[in-house]
Every structure is written in C-alpha cells, then in structure tokens.
C-alpha cells in the first residue's frame, strides 16, 4: 500500500512550471545514494519559484521508504539534477 506524506518544498526556477499533480521525481536523502520515487498527488499552495509550498506526495514502488520520517530533509531530483528541496511535515 502506498504511503502519503505532506511535504514542504521549494523548487528552483528551472522546474517550477513543471510541478503539478502527477509529477514523478525522486527524493534523495542527505548522505545516501538511494533515490526514492514519489508522485505528487495534491498541492495545498501554489508552486512559486524559490518559495516554500505545501504538497501531498505518495510512494510509488514496493521498496523501503522508512527513511521518510517527519522532519526528514531531502533534495528533489530529476536524474542527476537537483530541482528543489524539501522536508517531510506529516505522514498521512
């Protein structure tokens, strides 16, 4: 079963306009090579470049997502590119 999280994200200016429902980046945790695939399913606020925005994501794969805990900080990645950053605010 997929888990859902409320996250606070800040996107850089190159990707802000591509972030919408269905967006599927990877989350990368500090000091880890692991990439966790997620899907954005809802937005609480409008996505504005370099401004914090609340969103809802869900896990996508049958892998261990236990490293995603409240207050976990992460980078949002598309391939090698870091396109934003965020923090887990709540596990739903």
pLDDT tens digits for 66-80? Answer: 999 999 999 999 988
pTM of the model: 0.92
- Where in 12-50 does DSSP place strands (E)? 26-28, 35-43
pLDDT tens digits for 12-56? Answer: 876 666 788 999 999 999 999 899 999 999 999 888 889 999 999
Cα separation values, 47 from 32, 33, 55, 62, Å: 27, 27, 9, 29
What is the reported pLDDT for 46?
87
What is the reported pLDDT for 16?
65
Segments making up each domain of the chain, as ranges: 4-91
Q: Does domain 4-91 have CATH number 2.70.70.10?
A: no
What is the reported pLDDT for 17?
67
Under DSSP, is residue 18 helix (H, G, I), strand (E, B) or coil?
A: helix
- Enclosing H/E stretch for 19: none
């Amino acid at each position: 079963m997929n888990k859902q999280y409320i996250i606070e994200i800040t996107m850089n200016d190159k990707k802000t306009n591509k972030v919408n429902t269905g967006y599927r980046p990877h989350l990368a945790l500090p000091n880890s090579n692991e990439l966790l695939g997620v899907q954005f399913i809802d937005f609480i606020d409008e996505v504005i470049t370099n401004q914090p925005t609340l969103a809802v994501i869900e896990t996508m794969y049958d892998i261990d997502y236990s490293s995603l805990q409240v207050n976990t900080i992460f980078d949002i990645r598309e391939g090698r590119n870091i396109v934003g950053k965020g923090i887990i605010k709540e596990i739903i």
